């Protein structure tokens, strides 16, 4: 079992920045890829960014050049640095990891971009 706790969401003006954190606990040695998803009201959940066990990263086209994902192996934490935020980035952001045969989700953290 892996437990995930996200933090760092909030209200920010367009053009602003936020850093989300997701701390993992439990069977952390089994964690492979770590991901951030987001879901806006009335829309499907979408993959935002991935970081592999080896540190390779990938991003959705909509956030390329604005978001970065990083991983602190000592703290078992994944971060999502979000810059140049836009109103369309407003969503609930979820951390996701795959560990062995299973996928685990956090409870999500709300990001609202509005003036």
SS3 of the chain: the string is CEEEEEECCEEECCCCCEEEEEEEEECHHHEEEEEEEEECCCCCCEEEEEECCCCCEEECHHHCCCEEEEEECCCCEEEEEECCCCHHHCEEEEEEEEECCEEEECCCEEEEECC
Task: Say what the pLDDT of residue 29 is.
Answer: 83
- Is the pLDDT score of 89 beyond 90? yes
The 10s digit of each residue's pLDDT in 40-85 is 999 999 999 999 999 999 999 999 999 999 999 999 999 999 999 9
The residue written with tokens 């299973």 in the block is 102
pLDDT on residue 42:
94
What is the tens place of the pLDDT at every residue in 9-42? 999 999 999 999 999 998 888 889 999 999 999 9
Q: Which residue has the higher pLDDT, 97 or 26?
A: 97
Q: Looking at residue 28, what is its pLDDT?
A: 83
- Give the model's pLDDT for residue 101: 86
């Amino acid at each position: 079992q892996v437990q995930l706790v996200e933090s760092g969401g909030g209200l920010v003006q367009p053009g602003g920045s936020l850093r989300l954190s997701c701390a993992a606990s439990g069977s952390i040695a089994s964690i492979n890829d770590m991901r951030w998803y987001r879901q806006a009201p009335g829309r499907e959940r979408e993959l935002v960014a991935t970081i592999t066990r080896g540190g390779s990263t990938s991003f959705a086209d909509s956030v390329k050049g604005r978001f970065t994902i990083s991983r602190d192996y000592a703290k078992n934490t994944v971060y999502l640095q979000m810059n140049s935020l836009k109103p369309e980035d407003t969503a609930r952001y979820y951390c996701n990891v795959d560990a062995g045969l299973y996928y685990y989700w956090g409870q999500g953290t709300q990001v609202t971009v509005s003036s």
